[in-house]
């Protein structure tokens, strides 16, 4: 099954030009790679007609969801420590994603492994319940408004996510996310940072690299590969992380509101 489309919420008839006049934009965005090294399209001034988004960590607060739902599960089993559940989870999940399996299974296996590291044993049913909680994880405060405004400005909005289709559709429904389509791991049978999501997006949405911005929080899963396959990138530094010198996103912003400065009024 191909990428999912959600047609009719945004028109591409009034695409906006990306502002390329200087090293900073508005109050929230700065250019780190204005000449576009590492990405054939990064230095382009082509009109922006589309933004692709990572979902969990960029639109949805992945860290809060993991710490709340997995933390609550462990505490119900007697855990009272202060270990960094989120960072441990991220490290273990990344290993699970080396080969494709349904994301529900990866969520459940990773939750079980985190518990084992912390000395907590959870049942298979509890692990499945954690996986099913994902659509309940909260959006960031700027997500709904910025997606809506991008649609008003004629920008096509497509989610590229390491997720199962049903979990993403329920996330979109619960949170009222206005998007025009998606490509999931289930669609391409691979997980980012493999390039399958971006290649499927180009094919199924008849899109062009030069006129698309890829917007994401994860440097490892998204920014590096997106630039490698030719997209301009916007790194949304949601959790105040350090940026390695060898990774140079085209733009950096602290939140999604900075994206509105890039695509213009």
Indicate the number of domains in the chain.
Answer: 2
Domain boundary residue, one of 136, 163, 182: 136
Query: Does 151 lie in the same domain as 121?
Result: no
Query: Does 55 lie in the same domain as 12?
Result: yes
Query: Does 183 lie in the same domain as 73?
Result: no
158 has which bridge partners? 52, 181
Query: Does 131 lie in the same domain as 73?
Result: yes
Query: Does 71 lie in the same domain as 127?
Result: yes
CATH of the domain at 221: 3.40.50.1000
CATH of the domain at 130: 1.10.150.750
Total-model pTM: 0.85
Query: Does 250 lie in the same domain as 226?
Result: yes
251 has which bridge partners? 31, 234
Query: Does 249 lie in the same domain as 191?
Result: yes
Domain boundary residue, one of 136, 157, 181: 136
Query: For each of the chain's 265 residues, which pLDDT tens digit applies?
Result: 444 433 333 323 333 333 332 333 334 666 665 444 444 444 556 788 999 999 999 999 999 999 999 999 999 999 998 889 999 999 999 999 999 999 999 999 999 999 999 999 999 999 999 999 999 999 999 999 999 999 999 999 999 999 999 999 999 999 999 999 999 999 999 999 999 999 999 999 999 999 999 999 999 999 999 999 999 999 999 998 888 888 999 999 999 999 998 887 7
Q: Which domain holds residue 199?
A: 4-60+138-263
Given strand 212-216, what is the order of strands in its sheet? 4-5, 181-184, 156-161, 50-53, 212-216, 232-236, 251-253, 29-31, 24-25
Secondary structure of 62-123 in HEC code, one letter for each residue: HHHHHHHHHHHHHHHCCCCCCCCHHHHHHHHHHHHCCCCCCHHHHHHHHHHHHHHHCCCCCC
Domain boundary residue, one of 119, 136, 153: 136
Query: Does 53 lie in the same domain as 159?
Result: yes
């Amino acid at each position: 099954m191909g990428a999912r489309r959600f047609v009719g919420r945004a028109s591409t008839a009034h695409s906006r030009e990306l502002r390329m006049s200087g090293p900073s934009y508005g109050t929230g965005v700065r250019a780190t790679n204005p000449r576009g090294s590492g990405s054939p399209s990064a230095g382009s001034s082509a009109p922006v007609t589309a933004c692709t988004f990572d979902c969990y960590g960029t639109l949805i607060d992945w860290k809060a969801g993991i710490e709340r739902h997995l933390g609550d599960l462990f505490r119900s089993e007697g855990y009272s420590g202060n270990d960094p559940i989120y960072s441990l989870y991220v490290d273990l999940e990344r290993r699970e994603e080396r080969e494709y399996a349904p994301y529900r299974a990866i969520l459940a296996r990773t939750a079980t492994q985190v518990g084992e590291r912390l000395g907590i044993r959870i049942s298979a049913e509890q692990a499945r319940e954690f996986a099913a909680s994902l659509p309940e994880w909260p959006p960031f405060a700027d997500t709904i408004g910025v997606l809506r405004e991008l649609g008003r400005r004629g920008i096509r909005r497509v989610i590229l996510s390491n997720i199962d289709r049903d979990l993403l559709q329920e996330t979109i429904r619960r949170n009222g996310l206005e998007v025009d389509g998606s490509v999931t791991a289930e669609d391409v049978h691979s997980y980012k940072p493999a390039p399958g999501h971006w290649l499927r997006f180009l094919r199924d949405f008849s899109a062009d690299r030069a006129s698309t911005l890829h917007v994401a929080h994860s440097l490892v899963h998204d920014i590096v590969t997106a630039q490698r396959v030719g997209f301009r990138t916007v790194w949304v530094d949601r959790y105040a992380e350090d940026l390695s010198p060898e990774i140079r996103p085209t733009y950096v912003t602290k939140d999604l509101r900075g994206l509105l400065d890039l695509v213009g009024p």
